């Protein structure tokens, strides 16, 4: 699909595609990393990722106007004007940390900024150029990747819902989720890391109510899935969550 383009600061920048039925496609390694973006910042980043075409040779800068961003985020334009500097600052200041593993164990996290360029310009809107270091996680993906439509995450009202939805999706990509359902078991440590809650909500009861319960409620509200969960314990301590996911529509699958 042809897109409009403008020269901004000497660089050709392209208009956002606003069709939220298109897919956000990411390598599972990116989804499984530590992320600390706030809700609207995360939605803007997913919207930028949706612009990427599988065979792109480079990650291009894209422009979204305030009115378009207002429509995408379902937030009044006056709020976007008020908050846009905070959103762009959040994106710039909070990189993604990619998990590096060996023999199934995490050995370190590699810090990668989300963007090379993220700026509000009053005459054109918000310009976003994803960091080229993310290209291996976004372009020419043939395996170990996850996709979902942008409209699913834009409808969510919790950043924890977005993150847990993505993690569940990354564990279901090759599984047809029919009436029989599928189990996805995630350690509490991994959930805390992926949701940037390693220090937040130290009591498990608070973590459950603020993060897990809210995420599951949102996933059940806006997606084709019905999610329930049980605990896996070591003694009295909860060490993992066993999510059980069922498609509410026969034949719908990831």
Can you give the pLDDT of all 254 residues of the chain as single tens digits?
446 888 888 888 999 999 999 999 999 999 999 999 999 999 999 999 999 998 888 999 999 999 999 999 999 999 999 999 999 999 999 999 999 888 878 889 999 999 999 999 999 999 999 999 999 999 999 999 999 999 999 999 999 999 999 999 999 865 565 668 899 999 999 999 999 999 999 999 999 999 999 999 999 999 989 999 999 999 999 999 999 999 877 544 44
Query: How high is the pLDDT of residue 179?
Result: 66
Amino acid 177: pLDDT: 58
- Tell me how far apart the alpha carbons of residues 14 and 242 are, in angstroms, rounded to a whole number: 43
d(CA 162, CA 155): 10
Q: In Å, how far are 43, 64, 93, 107, 118 from 38, measured between CA atoms? A: 9, 19, 11, 26, 15
The CA–CA distances, whole Å, from 124 to 8, 30, 150, 166, 210 equal 9, 30, 23, 31, 38
Supply the DSSP symbol for 34.
B
pLDDT of residue 174: 56
How far apart CA 206 and CA 30 sit, in angstroms, is 27
Which residues lie closer than 8 Å to 146 by C-beta, 6 or more apart? Answer: 25, 26, 27, 28, 31, 166, 169, 170, 173
Res 170: pLDDT: 93
- How high is the pLDDT of residue 56? 87
Q: What is the pLDDT of residue 251?
A: 46
- What pLDDT sits at residue 3? 67
């Amino acid at each position: 699909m042809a897109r409009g383009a403008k020269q901004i600061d000497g660089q050709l920048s392209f208009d956002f595609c606003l069709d939220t039925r298109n897919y956000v496609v990411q390598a599972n390694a990116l989804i499984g990393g530590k992320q600390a973006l706030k809700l609207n910042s995360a939605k803007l980043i997913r919207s930028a990722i949706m612009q990427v075409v599988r065979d792109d040779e480079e990650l291009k800068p894209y422009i979204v106007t305030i009115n378009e961003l207002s429509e995408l985020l379902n937030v009044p334009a006056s709020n976007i004007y008020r908050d846009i500097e905070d959103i762009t600052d959040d994106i710039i200041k909070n990189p993604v940390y990619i998990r590096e593993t060996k023999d199934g164990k995490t050995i370190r996290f590699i810090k990668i900024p989300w963007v090379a360029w993220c700026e509000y310009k009053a005459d054109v809107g918000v310009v976003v150029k994803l960091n080229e270091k993310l290209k291996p996680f976004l372009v020419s993906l043939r395996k170990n990747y996850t996709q979902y439509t942008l409209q699913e995450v834009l409808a969510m009202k919790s950043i924890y819902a977005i993150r847990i939805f993505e993690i569940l999706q990354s564990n279901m990509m090759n599984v047809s989720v029919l009436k029989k359902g599928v189990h996805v078991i995630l350690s509490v440590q991994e959930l805390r890391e992926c949701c940037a809650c390693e220090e937040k909500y130290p009591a498990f009861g608070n973590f459950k109510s603020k993060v897990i319960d809210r995420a599951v409620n949102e996933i059940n509200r806006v997606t084709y899935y019905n999610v329930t969960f049980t605990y896996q314990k070591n003694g009295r301590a909860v060490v993992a969550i066993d999510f059980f996911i069922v498609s509410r529509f026969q034949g719908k699958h990831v």
